[in-house]
Structure 1
Amino acid sequence: MTAPLDLLRPGAAIRRLLRLAALSASTAALSAILLLGISGWFLTAAAAAGTAGVLAVQAFNYLIPSAAIRLLAILRTVTRYGERILSHRAALMAMADLRGRLFARLAAQDTRVAPNLSAGDASGRLIGDIDALEDLIVRQPTRPASLIAALTGVGLAALAGWLAALLLAVMLAALPFLLRALAARLTRAPAHEAAEALGELRRRYIDFAAARAEIAAYGLIDTVLADLAGPAARLDRARARLFRGEGAIAGFLACYGALAAAVVMASARGEPPFVALALLAASSAVEALAAISRTAFRQASVEEGLRRLAVLLDLPGDLRTAPVVVPGSVALRFGPVELAPGGRIALTGASGSGKTMVLEALAGLRAGDLPIAVGGTPLAGCDADALRTRFALAPQDAPMLAGSIADNLRLARPGVDEAAMWHALETAALAERVRRAPAGLDTVLGEEGGILSGGERKRLSLARALLAGRPWLLLDEPTEGLDAATERGLVANLRDWLDRTGTGLVLVSHRPHPMVLARERLDVAELVRL
């Protein structure tokens, strides 16, 4: 099983934060155990002096111990607060970096052969499963602190006799093994069940959310809620078992701390103040090792998260961050039809005949055993990255990024400026609509397009494809949902743009007017039969 820090590959800044957090946690643990031990010694010594008479009370120096107690209390509070801030900041930075790297790896895959993860499933892995690692990163600095606290506790117990220190050391050494065994027994099965149920619930919820308009329109809300009830109930049951396990471990720790104090008290041979010091030090040392118990308790959840993330971790490669170099245009061959660079063809055929499948295969989005060649290379043998650099797809169902209009246009290529954006929007017959939007290019859209209608989202997707500057443009029903006047203007703009840029076109449309853009036509049914 991959260790969380190995998976996170923390950078220098995160490692520095973790080191500072470990130093703060160690100081806080040392301050806490010294505070409790000295307090016990001070109270017992003061009580003994009081029973010994006035002279003993006058001789007792309470200033130094009381000052030390106050100093240790302040130091413990400050360093504990600092450890929380530093460890959580390191965890948040590490989680953000990990999510970015895994998303880049997922986005870089050849979708023709990559694992078929739905949006809900991928979201569940990138959010919920990575969150399972966060707790261990936050608690990472407390591990050396626990060791320091345990050693300090044994050292303080030695003031009450070597036997007390030895027995306490044995009990503290056995505690981590007992906690791990107990946590594995109580949490492994419910952690697996909780991870599976949460992943399934996320997947279904996101998939249903994408179809919320249809669900409301057809009165399927009760059906959807009933469908979500199953994994929700599984999750509740699994979490209840996890919480019961956590309670059992907490109870075990309380009993173990009382047993350690009893063992130290029975074996102590020193003066009463030192016996009191040893008792409180033993209890504090056991409490300090509670961080190990919390880590052990979360271990099963972490292992389940890593198991589900393995699908992403095993994917090869990463998303390239270098600017895309657009190659020169190449010829296309559709069966017997040869299309020279800059050619224009319309794919025709009845609904369901495979026209969209051909466009997606050219864009590298799906596998397709079709008699198509790109630059003389059969389509099935073309590298996905090569296809992405040659074809820009404006799909029938235009996906939107949850960001601004400008953010959606910047997906086309790195470094695109506002002037280019407005030019593409003019060509897509959408510039006036964007100018009327509340914040122009900075108008925020949701994943469903926000204020834009279906036809406007399609034209925004078209503008994005134009900005990509690829040698071939793939258009799937570009004028669907448009009125006649807007359709005529868009087609005229596209004709001018194609003539000016020399870009090739592969068009799919059931409407007659866009067909004027094509110079050739091909029935997809004939292509599929070859």
Structure 2
Amino acid sequence: MLRLAFLCALLAGISSILLLALSGWFLTAAAIAGAAGPVAAMAFNYLIPSAAIRALAIIRTVARYGERLLSHRGALGAMAALRGSLFGKLAAQDSRTAPDLSGGDASARLIGDIEALEDLVVRRPTRPASLIAAIFAVGLTFWAGWPAALALAAMLAVLPSLLGRAARRLTREPAAQAADALGELRTAYIDYAAARPDIIAYGLGERVTAQLLALAEPMDRARAALFRGEGLIAGLLVAYGCLAAAIVLALATSPAADVALGLLAATASVESMAAFARTAIRQASVEQGIARLSVLSALEGTPQKQAHVPVGAVPIALGDTEVAPGDRVAIAGRSGSGKTRILEALAGLRPPHHALRVDGVEAGACPPDMLRAQFALAPQDAVLIAGSIADNLRLARPGVTAGEMAEALRVTCLDMRIAAMTEGFDTPLSEAGGTLSGGERKRLSLARALLAGRPWLLLDEPTEGLDAATEAELVHRLGQWLDATGTGLILVSHRPAPLALAARSVEVEAIAVREG
């Protein structure tokens, strides 16, 4: 597709140069014929040149449209595949060792940095086409005389290097600053969006707005510097075109009509090099994008196709406490003692700081796929995606049916709430859970964990934010579900009601903390 775009760009460039050069020759020759008197004017054939000019204008328009269409189609397809590939690499990483990228930073890389590469791909066909068109223009300039043509060739030869040096000096540093500032700003936006209810409740809107404006200032300054650099480079190109025209005019030795042809061909040749100018202007942003994306492309591993394959439960050990498949254990301890950290370590989200073993292997040495196959985590802070309720539940595993979703929502006491919604399972949610309360978001996350069908269920404060009646019913239904499925349970809860689900408890202090 990019080859076709190149051919269209080449056709557009040559037809544009021919159009301008022929127009200059035609207008000058017509003026000379008219000045020579009626006989010369009548003898002048204006039909063929005017028809050629119209045809060239049509060809240029169609070729430019084809080049834009094909290059953008190729670029969009390539960038979509690249985004999918990089996101797949991120998703395949072991959370315990993956690069520490915030959501905003990852978003900036997968969106902004790839957009910079997209611009490079879009412009890729125009560079060689512009060079060939410029050489063609030099050939036309020979009509004005060979000294003029050689001077133009020399000027065009040094132009790409001149544009590159100017662009590096004017845009490299602002491009790096803009990329870094954008990542920080997106991170802040994501964090503040998640805290939107608290910001509204405590009247922090003005303070948050001021902080976001302060974060936006470095990006605005960097982008302003980039725009000034682009303006200076554009001005340099215009000045260079004027200089080329003046030199060609000064060195021209041919008749006036031929000089006009060569003069406008020279002007068009500099204009055709604008593709090099645009590439030079964007090069700094592209280099920054490539450098930032290299962190993602260097990641090892490929996305695994998720499959719901029944996996037998394996025993685990919390310190010296052996926990057999199907057992239910609560982890007790004061706030901040590391209970949540233990659940996240078992789920493979964080490196373990406690003595944890899974099937006799230290949790830190277990492959992430093994941990994912054993544990389903319902975290204290429910993480939802922007999509429907069904979309959030289907994340549990492929092939989840409506009946299974309905049963999971019944166990978590959300069935009546979802049934009362006009769109039911198709009700859209934002990342923050939309109209769902905090307790409802936690129960939706719990329903997703149940649907995962793992041998072990990890629950972190599952009834926080619930009233006593709903809490009691949830504990009752969840107990029945555990009995029916034989799923093992590791529970963390400060509230006494959920502790009835556990047959015993283990103090977090009894789970030996690793030294160092």
Scaled by the length of structure 1, what TM-score is found? 0.93
Structure 1 match to 2:417: 433
In the alignment, structure 2 segments of 5+ residues that lack a partner are none
1:75-123 CA distances to partner (integer Å, 9 max, x unpaired)? 1112212222332233333333222222221222111122222222222
**Equivalent residues of 1:201, 1:231 under 8 A apart:** yes
Structural mapping, 1:243-282, within 5 Å: 243-282=227-266
Which amino acid is 2:229 matched to?
G
> Quick check: 2:134–2:273 contact (8 Å CA) kept in 1?
yes
1:189 is aligned to 2:173: yes
> Corresponding residue for 1:8?
none
Distance 1:54 1:65 in 2: 19
Question: Quick one: distance in 2 between partners of 1:388 and 1:431?
Answer: 27
- In structure 2, the partner of 1:286 is 270
Amino acid at match of 2:405: M
> 1:140-186: per-residue Cα shift (whole Å, max 9, x none)?
22112201210210111122222222221111111101100111111
Residues 234-249 of structure 1: matches in 2 within 5 Å?
234-249=218-233
- Confirm or deny: 8 A CA contact 1:370 1:379 kept in the other structure: no
1:401 Cα offset (Å)? 0.4
Matching residue of 2:369: 385
1:75-94 to 2 correspondences below 5 Å: 75-94=59-78
Determine helix, strand or coil for the equivalent of 2:381: coil
| Structure 2 partner of 1:98 | 82
Tell which deviates more after alignment, 490-499 or 462-471.
490-499
Cα displacement (A) at 1:427: 1.8
Contact 2:138 2:153 in 1 (8 A): yes
SS in 2 for 1:415: coil
Deviations 1:470-528, CA, capped at 9 Å, x for gaps: 11111111122222332232222222222222211111122222222222211112214
Matching of residue 39 in structure 1 with residue 23 in structure 2: yes
Distance 1:173 1:322 in 2: 55
Does the residue aligned with 1:393 lie in a helix, a strand or coil? strand
* Pair 1:96–1:529, CA change in 2 (3 A): closer
What's the CA shift for 1:211?
1.7
Aligned to 1:219: 203
Q: Is the 8 A contact 1:392 1:468 kept in 2?
A: yes
1:165 is matched by which residue type in structure 2? A
Q: CA deviation at 1:216?
A: 3.2
2:511 counterpart SS class: helix
1:336 matched to 2:336: no
Give 1:311's match in structure 2, choosing from 271, 295, 299. Answer: 295
Amino acid at match of 1:394: A
Letter in 1 for 2:279: T
The answer for the alignment partner of 1:3 in structure 2 is: none
CA contact (8 A) 1:128 1:199 kept: no
Matched, 1:404 2:420: no
Distance 1:406 1:448 in 2: 16
The residue number in structure 2 matching 1:107 is 91
Could you tell me how far apart the structure 1 residues matched to 2:419 and 2:376 are? 25
Residues 319 and 512 of structure 2 are in contact (CA less than 8 Å); yes or no, is this contact kept in structure 1? no
Report the equivalent of 1:354: 338
Aligned to 1:363: 347
Which of the numbers 167, 173, 182 marks the counterpart of 1:198? 182
Q: Deviations over 1:360-410 (max 9, x none)?
A: 010001111322211111112111221111100011111110000111011
Runs ≥4 residues deviating over 6 A: none
Partner Cα distance (2:172, 2:62) in 1: 36
2:498 counterpart of 1:498: no
Give, in whole Å, the separation in 2 of the partners of 1:513 and 1:285.
80
Q: Is the 8 A contact 1:326 1:390 kept in 2?
A: no
My pick for the range that moved more, 477-486 or 71-80, is 477-486
Q: How far does residue 333 in structure 1 lie from its aligned partner after superposition? A: 1.4
**Greater CA drift, 476-485 or 177-186:** 476-485
What is the alpha-carbon distance in structure 1 between the residues aligned to residue 500 and residue 306 of structure 2? 37
Q: Shift of the alpha carbon at 1:324?
A: 5.0
For 1:375, give the aligned amino acid: D
Per-residue CA deviations over 1:257-305 (Å, capped at 9, x if unaligned) read 1111122222222222111111001000100101110110111111122
Residue type matched to 2:387 in 1?
G
Distance in 2 between the 1:199 and 1:335 partners?
41
Matched, 1:518 2:502: yes
Counterpart secondary structure, 1:450: coil
Q: In structure 2, what residue type is equivalent to 1:253?
A: L
Distance in structure 1 (CA, Å) of the matches to 2:234 and 2:153: 21
Does the CA contact (< 8 Å) of 2:306 and 2:397 recur in 1? no
Cα distance in 2 for partners of 1:125, 1:108 equals 17
- Structure 1 distance, partners of 2:84, 2:391, is 17
Deviates more, 1:124-133 or 1:361-370: 124-133
RMSD across aligned positions (CA): 1.7
Alignment counterpart, residue 174 of structure 1, candidates 155, 158, 180: 158
Among candidates 428, 433, 437, match of residue 453 of structure 1: 437
| Gap runs ≥5 in structure 1 | 1-15
Identity of aligned residues (%): 63
What is aligned with 2:398?
A: 414
* Cα separation, 2, equivalents of 1:495 and 1:333: 23
- 1-side partners of 2:318 and 2:440: how far apart? 31
Equivalent position SS for 1:401: coil
SS at match of 1:346: strand
Contact 1:324 1:389 in 2 (8 A): no
Moved more, 266-275 or 168-177: 266-275
Q: Which residue identity lines up with residue 256 of structure 1 in the other structure?
A: Y
C-alpha separation between the residues in 1 aligned to 2:418 and 2:200?
Answer: 29
1:413 is displaced (CA, Å) by 0.8
Q: What displacement does 1:249 show?
A: 1.0
344-353 vs 227-236, which moves further: 227-236
The answer as to 2:121 corresponding to 1:137 is yes
> Equivalent residue for 2:148?
164
